[in-house]
Amino acid sequence: MSGSRARRQAVVTGLGVVAPNGVGTEAFWKAVQQGEFVLGPVTREGCTELPLKVAGEVAGFDPADLVEDRFLVQTDRFTHFAMAAADMALDEAHLATDPESPFAIGVVTAAGSGGGEFGQRELQELWGRGPQFVGPYQSIAWFYAASTGQISIRGGFQGPCGVLCDDEAGGLDVFAHAARAIARGTDAMVAGATEAPLAPYSAVCQLGYRELSLAERPRGAYLPFTADACGFAPAEGGAMFVVEEAEAARRRGAPVRAEVAGHAATFTGTRDWADSREGLARAAKAALAEAGCAPEEVDVVFADALGVPAADQAEALAISDALGRRAASVPVTAPKTGFGRAYAAAAALDAAAAVLALEHGVVPPTPNVAEVRHDLDVVTGEARSAPLRTALVLGRGLMGCNAALVLRRAGDGPH
């Protein structure tokens, strides 16, 4: 893979974000940089009586402002997020389909929750009023593939399309998928992940996760790397990117936001979070090797930060295994402690924060986290200014997938 990637380098030329702490890249970055804390009570209809009390809800998002009715009626909220974020990313990249070459752009998304709200509504019609009251769009709206399909149809993107249903790690794996499509000849990929798990059926499904935080106080719900870690608070939203072949971007004068320098994925199952240490370390090492990046060159780590003591310990050890001596001094951050963990979209939001951090030369803080119990330089409190060239983003799934992504500041080739 690295041979062909060297010839056709994948770069990020646009990003779009719909997150609990901000809709739009600017609002998101402002909140992330300031370490804004927006976790709060779950208020979505049908969810308020559940044992799950704290989550990151997206506020101030009206899909009708951003997406045509005909796409809204046939899609779930997670696809509304995806279509809106894809539009933002395409706007930033000044990219649209060329009717002369519709196969030049493809789409890949990751999703772990699917269209639970839409699906529940239709199933309630099925059992409440009968099969003749179930709308035909049920056949496509609940499905994990819905966002990829609708972005492709709506934008006229007929290049390679894919969907990853591989856990939280999917939000990083989409970059590898996009880079591979680009290496094989596609000019650009619309890639990313969005989730809308804050609906009754979806929320009830999550109650089976022992890692889910059932804390009642927002400030006490999601505290990774601390002695008070008690699981994670879920969130909705996500991020979409335009990943483009570097030369194609240069030809059309599109500014390069970051290089997709390396990626690797592993699987360590669900037996024990301690097992994720080796998987995550191997993924990080392989991603750095693909990027041609030595551990000393990693300027910031965006941690998975699950918030379960054994998982946090495994991640701290994995960072140490992968980075050696650099592990104790590299700034580690987890902006998601401010707004929650949006399953596959959590990793995509981390990638968005990483691109913005590299651009601004700022390591954003880990909101609401103070006393770190691991041998890591977790950035708490204020953001830290630093010249950043290389970011390592880590992601782990509740079902055992691990992934690492290396992003490099635009114009800073391998050293």
Residues that bind another protein (CB under 8 A): 68-74, 132-133, 135-137, 139-140
Least distance (Å) from another protein to the CB of residue 32?
34
Give the span between the Cα atoms of 344 and 70, in whole angstroms: 26
Cα–Cα distance measured from residue 232 to residue 210, given in angstroms and rounded to the nearest whole number: 10
**Smaller CB distance to another protein: residue 75 or 186?**
75
Q: Which of 29, 62, 392, 4 is nearest to 239 (CA)?
A: 29
| 8 A C-beta contact, residue 33 and residue 276 | no
Contact by Cβ (8 Å): 375, 328: yes
Q: Closest CB to another protein among 78 and 222?
A: 78
**What residues pair up with 149 in beta bridges, in sequence order?**
none
| Torsion sign over Cα 307, 332, 351, 237 | positive
Beta-strand pair 384-385/362-363? antiparallel
CA 385, 390, 391, 394: dihedral to nearest 10 degrees? -150
Residue 283: how many other CB atoms lie within 10 Å: 29
For residue 399, which of 282, 306, 284 has the smallest C-alpha distance? Answer: 306
292, 204 contact by CB (below 8 A):
no
Find the shortest distance in angstroms from Cβ 68 to another protein: 7
Q: Of 153 and 370, which CB lies nearer to another protein in the complex structure?
A: 153
Residue with Cβ nearer another protein (118 or 343): 118
Nearer to another protein, 133 or 209 (CB): 133
The least distance separating another protein from the CB of residue 134, rounded to whole angstroms, comes to 8
To another protein, the closest distance from the beta carbon of 99 in angstroms equals 17
| DSSP structure class, residue 233 | -
Q: What is the DSSP string of 337-351?
A: GGT-B-THHHHHHHH
Own/partner contacts of 178-181, CB < 8 Å, gap of 24 or more, are: 178/10, 178/106, 178/108, 178/241, 178/243, 178/260, 179/5, 179/10, 179/243, 179/260, 179/263, 180/1, 181/106, 181/108
CA 304 vs CA 214, 289, 293, 336, 384: distances in Å = 19, 20, 20, 9, 19
How open is the CA angle 55-301-415, to the nearest 5 degrees?
150
Residue closer to another protein (CB basis): 87 or 92: 87
**Least Å distance between CB 146 and another protein?**
12
Least CB distance from residue 139 to another protein, whole Å? Answer: 7
Give the shortest CB-162-to-another protein separation in angstroms.
Answer: 22
Nearer to another protein, 125 or 275 (CB): 125
> Nearer to another protein by C-beta: 84 or 260?
84
- Least separation, in Å, of the C-beta of 138 and another protein? 9
Closer to another protein at the Cβ: 2 or 139? 139
Q: How far is the CB of 136 from another protein (least distance, A)?
A: 4
